Structure 1
């Protein structure tokens, strides 16, 4: 029996005094603690009696030996262990903040900060997977968030349900809201159900949905247990914006249309039934890094999305206004040419009929708020610089902005 105010002595000689209980889970209870000599705050997890055995101690020592915190400060494994009669527990330095679950209930973060939080999360999981270790219990309650101006700080506070080859298997299989279909099937049929890196990757996809879009993948399909299980085990991403059908605009969070094709592709694969096809944590980290570079604020409604060549209008249902686009005014030739599409090819017909202009002379490529021109014609495409006309190298797109002067062979134009 553990009581508030009690002093515990750990294997290293560390002595801490227990304060209030601050949490509990499937394997034990967590107490805030104070180091008797230094006053340093910590967290002590005391395992329930049925888990207080040699296997648990062996698993704790394995985590301690990994020194994850030295490689990835996000990961906070235990750094000390205690054993007393039928009790086992471990010690971890105290982590400030609130659980990711509580934080996302009423987030104070921007869409861009959520993308950055997701990158940090993916990196931490990748560090474990790179060593062949599955987290085993990826869920919102096992991560803490604190605002460290100007950024958000993330910590993984409970790694106890990990799986690593050669060690006793974990006693639990993870949280029902994030459990992979194969684990659900194993539990239902009485088969062995052990977390793995592939089941982590399913849970990772679900949690990414929580972080980025602020809603669970089952939202809109969770009015009954049967509907929820169907949503989690169908092998499909039911909120896929590429699937024409039901609107999810009334369920809160961000519409899935704010994602770019790369992130949408990861969600489709992560929620699939084939474990081998689920994207790695590293794949998430890379794609999210690209997404941050292309976060764009709609000038009409202020909504943020990840732009791509397919996005020419705001993806928010309440807005849907076209994004601003450039036009090209050809000297002495009619109306300006709109550069609103993902790709606009211009040649002799569009540029006034000069025989020096090729049939396909240049292509303007638009990606969100930015537009590039790429030269295709034999007689070149030029941009006016301080020293005069400068030829744009072929296969090297040139970013253009309002006011730029361009020349297509012998035809001049202005970007407006």
Structure 2
């Protein structure tokens, strides 16, 4: 039986000499087809290029990526080039790991697919944070992705973990590749084809911001009133909307492209519920950043803001819905029922040494957790499996909460009356305003109302 370009059962060979047998086709895209294949090491995925795209430059890019041997588990990285030893199939492909079934595509969110029904507001912010961290990791190695869009990111709706696919177009900054991006996500200077404009980490920052906006706002940052007036969304219309006249739907100085309330109620409501710290970053990157690319929001700035918002998520006591709140801000009204939220106490954390210490806050709602990344000044990666402490309810006195030590280290607690006690592993300290905690390594915290 023939599946696409490759027949089931056909034997191919990796450049290392490893035999690869085609099982079935997974799907197809703009550059080629993806198959499940069997190898001596188990099942893998094979991307096989359409013949017209299997050129010398693409092979050179693949060889460079494979030579790096990058083992970051957030990326389905190319591991070996595959050829047809008989020469009957023109071109080549490459091997990568199979995408685990727990990862779903981002468009499933907008389709309201049952496969992502478990995703909460906390999950979506976690997905946003992990996505930024993944691309920051790539950029820190001098590699530009060049085609950030919602089709290349997969996520776990239960944990917020992400997986970046289609990494075969990532190149070292400054080098050329066949793919320049997807127009809806491309930086305006690329859409306009400005002289000297090339895809790179700077244009990736615009694409990343578009992806974050879609993820959190359920709409495109330039699709407002002007987009609704377009009768045929052809290439010329997109070029105008995203390139020659891109207007952010919430540009404070230009109201031409505001969302139409009766036609776009979701983006109006979600923008109203978005914390100011994130609004400011979106406004900056889609106004100043559109005109002056070097002013685009950096990955580190997104990481700080998203992490702070994640730690400030508050569940409404009336309707139970999760709300994004402004870190250190006043209590907003619930986006669902309209009642004013009752904000839990905050754990004010201070990390690092010297005069420039990092401060952050965590809302101490029931089951809130302190993670290892909270105790580091500038974590490279937020790991939500490394639990340091958790807010737990007293088993006999309902309504009284404490922080349970989930580490192997002893904490030092100083109460507001000046008494000091150790909090040993597995033990809990009652949470009261004024309580001071020392976690070790220069990390300290105070409970505040």
Q: TM-score, structure 2 length as denominator? A: 0.65
Partner of residue 297, structure 2: 279
1:255-294 paired onto structure 2 within 5 Å: 255-271=270-286, 272-273=289-290, 274-294=292-312
Taking the aligned partners of 2:64 and 2:326, their CA distance within structure 1 comes to: 44
Query: CA contact under 8 A between 1:33 and 1:43: conserved in structure 2?
Result: yes
SS in 2 for 1:5: coil
- 1:260-297: CA deviations, max 9, x gaps? 22222221222231110111222212221111111122
Instruction: Indicate the residue corresponding to 2:61 in structure 1.
Output: 59
Question: Hey, what does 1:82 align to over in structure 2?
Answer: 82
SS of match in other structure, 1:58 = helix
| Contact 1:133–1:162, Cα closer than 8 Å, also in 2 | yes
1:175 aligns with 2:185: no
- What does 1:162-201 align with in structure 2 at a 5 Å threshold? 162-165=170-173, 167=175, 169-186=176-193, 194-201=198-205
Deviations 1:79-135 (A, max 9, x none): 000234531210101012332222453242111111111111111100111122110
Residues 102 and 391 (structure 1 numbering): CA distance in 2 closer, same or farther, change over 3 Å? closer
Query: 2:138 matched to which residue of 1?
Result: 128
Other-structure match for 2:324? 305
CA distance in 1, matches of 2:59, 2:49: 10
> For the structure 1 residues 310 and 232, does the alpha-carbon distance in structure 2 shift closer, same or farther, using more than 3 Å as the test?
farther
Measure the CA separation in 1 of the matches of 2:250 and 2:328. Answer: 21
Listed as ranges, the matches of 1:2-401 within 5 Å are 2-35=6-39, 37-38=40-41, 40-69=42-71, 72-84=72-84, 85=87, 86-96=90-100, 97-106=103-112, 107-108=116-117, 109-147=119-157, 151-165=159-173, 167=175, 169-186=176-193, 194-221=198-225, 222-223=227-228, 224=230, 225=233, 232-233=242-243, 234=245, 236-239=247-250, 248=261, 250-252=264-266, 255-271=270-286, 272-273=289-290, 274-301=292-319, 302-308=321-327, 311-314=330-333, 316=335, 319-324=337-342, 385=417, 401=449
C-alpha displacement of 1:319: 3.9
Residues in 2 aligned to 1:136 and 1:110: alpha-carbon distance in whole angstroms:
29
* TM-score, with length taken from structure 1: 0.70
Q: Kindly tell me: are residues 239 and 7 of structure 1, through their superposed partners in 2, closer, same or farther at Cα, counting changes over 3 Å? A: farther
1:210 Cα deviation after fit: 1.9
Measured in 2, the distance between the counterparts of 1:117 and 1:10 equals 34
Q: Post-superposition shift, 1:27?
A: 1.9
Instruction: Flag the 1:368–1:238 CA change in 2: closer, same or farther, 3 A.
Output: farther
Q: Mark the CA change 1:83 to 1:33 in structure 2 (over 3 Å): closer, same or farther.
A: closer
Pick which of 82-91 and 248-257 moved more. 248-257
- Give the 3 Å change call, closer, same or farther, for CA 202–81 of structure 1 in structure 2: same
Measure, in 2, the Cα distance between the counterparts of 1:119 and 1:29. Answer: 30
Pairwise CA RMSD: 3.6
The verdict on how the C-alpha distance between 1:241 and 1:289 changes in structure 2, with shifts beyond 3 A counting, is farther
Distance 2:7 2:79 in 1: 22
Rounded Cα–Cα distance in structure 2 between residues aligned with 1:286 and 1:51:
40
Structure 1 residue 59: Cα displacement: 0.5
C-alpha separation in 2, matches of 1:41 and 1:88: 19
Q: Is the 8 A contact 1:219 1:251 kept in 2?
A: no
SS class of match (1:113): helix
When residues 135 and 386 of structure 1 are mapped into structure 2, their CA distance, relative to the original with a 3 A threshold, is closer
